[in-house]
Amino acid sequence: QVQLVESGGGLVQAGGSLRLSCAASGRTFSSATMGWFRQAPGKEREFVGGIRWDPTIILYSDSVKGRFTISRDSAKNTVYLQMNSLKPDDTAVYYCAGKSQRIYTAQAMSFGGSYDYWGQGTQVTVSS
């Protein structure tokens, strides 16, 4: 069974940065897709970005493009979400999600139902 564990959330002032980590255990994926989603109180879950490897493709939502960066450390089986220039609107619980196979389309990568595994979430709060 695969487990995804997020870390790195916290409280930061607007304009600051945080780096979230998502460590996968229980299985290593030679070809996989990982996604980051977030959910703010009273709002629906929102796709933030995703990374698919073999070959590597990285996608971002328009709301975070240019501010957030997704990367992967295959040796550590960990995916990162570097968040810069944070805004109060970025406040949410952030979740990583995983699938052990490639997700081929951008539309599917942005859809939570495409993923088989989810982390427990980590709170990010951006103060104004």
**What average pLDDT does the segment 13-37 reach?**
88
Which residues, including other chains, have CB under 8 Å from residue 11's CB and lie 6 or more apart? 125, 126, 127
What is the predicted pLDDT for the residue at 29?
60
Structure tokens of 80?
């990162």
26 pLDDT tier (thresholds 50, 70, 90): confident
The pLDDT tens digits for 99-124 are 988 898 999 999 999 999 999 999 99
Query: Pairing relation of β-strands 122-127 and 10-13?
Result: parallel
Q: Give the chain's end-to-end CA distance (angstroms, integer).
A: 40
What is the predicted pLDDT for the residue at 1?
77
49 pLDDT above the threshold of 80 = yes
53 pLDDT above the threshold of 90 = no
**What average pLDDT does the segment 11-31 reach?**
87
